């Protein structure tokens, strides 16, 4: 486990001029790493939980699209707070995209975008394809959204597409990309945030038992990274990992309160990111529980 051999590296990555520059500096420091190593080692080195989230999100994208560019990217699926294909209005016609997406992670710093768009014929059930577009190209417009209290350093944007040229990824847009990404994001963001906490614990001299328990969660995440993201086994394992992490919350809060205020304040500000997809994660867990014959 290369990540375990390197996780005690004490270097912190300062926030550079832009998110893209910060991320590029981290990639240069880490060298050639797997997506899981990127999430853990990159997350551990970030200055804030929000930046650790961003690294975990980028790692998940690279599992989804292994040939993704090295720069910051984003998956654009949400329309009016829904990712259901039937609720989407963005359309693909003759390698041109038109429509809009509500929420682009990394905002104006994203240099490539994976866009879910419908391409079924008249009278057919909704069907998705996943296309790649690049900000700055004709018909691709990104608008910055107001800064949020949660992870304020990670901007978000709204995407507008008007007959924008695109490239298509192979496979069904829902089954191969949008659906599994929900679990990939859960897993890799959890790994990045747990690694960030481990780094704080190392700097602040937290009890060895607490740091070992954090390493245990990371080891479980490493196993999760070897599972098919849309399998019942992965969803069960994810459920167990989040339950395991939840059991640590009291000890983590106490350790943070006893250390420098900056770490406790940052964690208090950003920890809510783990709850954003909790309802959908619980639904997937319930289905996996039934599929495995455990209900």
Are residues 43 and 113 located together in one domain of the fold?
no
Check whether residue 79 and residue 142 sit in a common domain.
Answer: yes
Backbone phi, psi, residue 172, to 5°: -75, 135
Residues 115 and 145 in one domain: yes
78 lies in the same domain as 44: no
Model pTM above 0.85? yes
**Which among 165, 163, 167, 173 is positioned nearest to 98, based on CA atoms?**
163
CA dihedral 93, 98, 104, 106 (to 10 degrees): 80
Q: Are 107 and 145 in contact (CB under 8 A)?
A: yes
The CATH number of the domain holding residue 117 is: 2.40.110.10
Distances (CA, A) of 224 to 220, 221, 261: 6, 5, 33
Give the chain's domain count: 2
CA distances 70 to 17, 41, 61, 196, 287, Å, are 18, 16, 11, 22, 35
**Residue that is last in its domain, among 168, 194, 212:** 168
Given 123, 146, 168, which residue is the final one in a domain? 168
What is the pLDDT, as a whole number, of residue 295?
66
The Cα–Cα gap between 34 and 50 comes to 21
Residues 214, 151 share a domain: no
- Asked if residue 44 and residue 180 are part of one domain, the reply reads yes
Residues 6+ apart with CB under 8 A from 9: 41, 44, 45
Does 15 share its domain with 103? Answer: no
pLDDT tens for the 295 residues of the chain, in order: 689 999 998 888 887 889 999 999 999 999 999 999 999 999 999 999 999 999 999 999 999 999 999 999 999 999 998 999 999 999 999 999 999 999 899 989 999 999 999 999 888 999 999 999 999 999 999 999 999 999 999 999 999 999 999 999 999 999 999 999 999 999 999 999 999 999 999 999 999 999 999 999 999 999 999 999 999 999 999 999 999 999 999 999 999 999 999 999 999 999 999 998 888 899 898 999 888 877 6
Asked if 57 contacts 156 with a C-beta cutoff of 8 angstroms, the reply is: no
Distance CA 101, CA 75 (A): 10
Q: Are residues 51 and 87 in the same domain?
A: no
Q: What domain range is 139 assigned to? A: 73-168
């Amino acid at each position: 486990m290369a990540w375990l051999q390197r996780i005690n590296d004490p270097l912190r990555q300062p926030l550079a001029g832009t998110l893209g520059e910060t991320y590029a500096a981290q990639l240069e420091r880490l060298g050639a790493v797997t997506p899981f190593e990127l999430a853990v080692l990159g997350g551990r080195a970030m200055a804030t939980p929000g930046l650790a989230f961003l690294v975990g999100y980028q790692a998940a994208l690279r599992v989804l699209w292994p040939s993704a560019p090295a720069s910051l990217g984003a998956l654009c699926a949400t329309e009016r707070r829904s990712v259901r294909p039937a609720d989407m209005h963005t359309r693909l016609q003759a390698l041109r995209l038109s429509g809009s997406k509500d929420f682009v992670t990394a905002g104006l710093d994203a240099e490539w975008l994976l866009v879910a768009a419908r391409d079924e014929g008249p009278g057919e059930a909704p069907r998705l394809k996943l296309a790649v577009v690049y900000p700055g190209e004709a018909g691709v417009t990104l608008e910055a959204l107001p800064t949020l209290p949660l992870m304020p350093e990670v901007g978000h944007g709204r995407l507008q597409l008007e007959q924008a040229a695109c490239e298509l990824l192979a496979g069904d847009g829902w089954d191969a990309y949008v659906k599994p990404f929900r679990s990939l994001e859960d897993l890799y963001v959890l790994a990045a945030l747990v690694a960030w906490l481990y780094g704080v614990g190392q700097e602040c001299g937290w009890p060895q038992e607490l740091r070992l328990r954090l390493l245990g969660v990371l080891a479980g995440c490493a196993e999760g990274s070897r599972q098919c993201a849309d399998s019942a086994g992965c969803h069960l394992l994810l459920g167990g990992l989040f339950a395991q992490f939840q059991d640590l919350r009291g000890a983590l809060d106490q350790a943070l309160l006893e250390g420098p205020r900056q770490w406790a304040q940052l964690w208090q500000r950003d920890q809510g990111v783990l709850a954003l997809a909790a309802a959908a994660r619980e639904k997937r867990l319930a289905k996996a529980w039934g599929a495995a014959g455990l209900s």
